[in-house]
Structure 1
């Protein structure tokens, strides 16, 4: 995909923190002026002398935002599904989380890296977990990817009709796909439930095109570690999003003293990102509150 197109998307996305701007190369300004079909708009009329003021500035800002929204929701942007095609969540959206912006900035910096750069991509997978060192495996020529663990703690991800997610997360993933970053989903649901998982991702807007790779349980007692390794063999996973540390590596499930892995803490916010599980069922949440 045209890299300039992806850069425009980054600037147009609402709801992302200012740290995202740091991931956009300085050369973007020169690139964005070429090869992009913008929505039609009227030329701004210069204000009369002495007429400029807060109201005029607010109007100009609103016009610019409208143009950005129009571009994002049009079919002219290759690789991003029109917002009109994204099924609205069944109820209130989930709260945003700072981890989404951090993940977006880190992965974007890698996706926008010069393809001829000598700097090697680092995987989010530990090179040697047994040593408790933060050294990460190097990627070969596989496609850059983000791995998202769907399951909350030790449960299975909800697949009900009323599942909701964070709109910010949905936008982040859509824009990463536009930069040719693959989005992979990991869950303890069995492969026979792949259709139900697909529908939940579709309804929530997390995977509106249904094209993301699913890594589900294929045989009895298959572990997440095995499927995580399979995904790492297929893609260059540069970031993992999970709601607990064992979503990043199985070693966290066996440590008698969790603090013994303090050497791995620098990976949080760099390659590992902690946030609530992506999907929530409104009916199940309400039931849980009543039980409490």
Structure 2
């Protein structure tokens, strides 16, 4: 590549030199370069006095001087104009740092390792805990039975229903790389209309969550039905099925192995889970939000720490890794809430002793 700031004569020499090889290029390029230098020396070089005067007259960064019209002007080091004041969502420069959550989920080996770990655990559970049972009729569904509470969960036996695994789609099975790239570059908050456009047009800008394709293929070979339960719109069913197929996670057929949110329906998934559970015994579920396992976790008035305690401090705790499998998602969702005082209990707060002096 020719440096953009080469003088015209040297640029010509470089073009000629790059089009030839060996000594011929050197023989032609050297005289051209020498000639260009002589020409520039004779015609363009200012005298020492002129150069010194120009340096003294040139404004320095940070300097304030008076313009010909009398106004005060301060010199800056800006090379590009900043976005207009007050405009949100201005595009970020290409190559700029992405938000920490996006860095982690879509770029880190750590997130990939966690995802593979979750799907490896899912497959081991299906193969060992379920597959080796002689009397499969005694296996219980991992969907909370009607009337359950988080403090008093109940689960029904499978009986003769065929066994299935139910998964969320976004950031559980599919990584929405194209959408999150656009969001990282433009710095925009979530917009339902923009997400709807993504559902309709982004089927080829995705990737499978690490470990998902292999685990789901193995589960299908062992006779488990794979079912997706997503809050994507039913209007985008064809595009969602195509995205799953593109990522090697399909097939997915609407109202059979693909369940989506209908027009005007709330975002909760319990109603759809109940319909799936009428036909199948759901022996495992995977998701990246607590609502992928039960809507009971998302009570609107639940304090942050109470919601956390409902996961680790109740009879549901043994299900994690043994029927319920959580995928990482620090980018969006119901888990991203709470101020400092909501998250840290008073007895766990520390202040650097040096700061007290």
Q: TM-score by structure 1 length?
A: 0.56
Larger Rg: 2
* Shift in Å, 1:118: 6.9
1:216 maps to which residue? 260
Query: Aligned pair 1:237/2:282, yes or no?
Result: yes
1:199-214 equivalences under 5 Å are 199-207=242-250, 209-210=251-252, 213-214=257-258
After TM superposition, the structure 1 stretch with the greater mean CA deviation from structure 2, 166-175 or 130-139, is: 130-139
SS in 1 for 2:283: strand
Structure 1 segments, 4+ long, off by >6 Å, are 153-158
1:134-182 C-alpha deviation (Å, 9 max, x unpaired): 4422222111111001135998796422201135210110010011100
Distance 2:248 2:136 in 1: 36
Query: Aligned pair 1:103/2:122, yes or no?
Result: yes
Distance 2:308 2:246 in 1: 39
Change (3 A) 1:119 1:231: closer
Task: Name stretches of at least 5 consecutive residues in structure 1 with no aligned partner.
Answer: 1-91, 278-292
Change (3 A) 1:251 1:178: same
Distance 1:105 1:152 in 2: 21
SS in 2 for 1:205: coil
1:56-93 C-alpha deviation (Å, 9 max, x unpaired): xxxxxxxxxxxxxxxxxxxxxxxxxxxxxxxxxxxx99
1:45-84 equivalences under 5 Å are none
SS in 1 for 2:143: strand
1:1-292 equivalences under 5 Å are 95-96=112-113, 97=115, 98-115=117-134, 117=135, 120-127=138-145, 128-130=147-149, 132-152=151-171, 159=199, 160=202, 161-207=204-250, 209-210=251-252, 213-222=257-266, 223-254=268-299, 255-256=302-303, 257-261=306-310, 262-263=313-314, 264-276=316-328
SS in 2 for 1:126: coil
CA RMSD of aligned residues (A): 3.0
SS in 1 for 2:161: coil
Structure possessing the higher relative contact order (Cα contacts under 8 Å, 6 or more residues apart): 1
Alignment size in residue pairs? 185
SS in 2 for 1:125: coil
Distance 1:172 1:260 in 2: 30
* Shift in Å, 1:218: 2.6
Change (3 A) 1:130 1:192: same
* Shift in Å, 1:246: 2.0
* Shift in Å, 1:224: 1.4
Task: Name stretches of at least 5 consecutive residues in structure 2 with no aligned partner.
Answer: 1-107, 173-189, 330-357
| Aligned partners of 1:147 and 1:241 also within 8 Å | yes
Distance 1:169 1:102 in 2: 11
After TM superposition, the structure 1 stretch with the greater mean CA deviation from structure 2, 192-201 or 221-230, is: 221-230
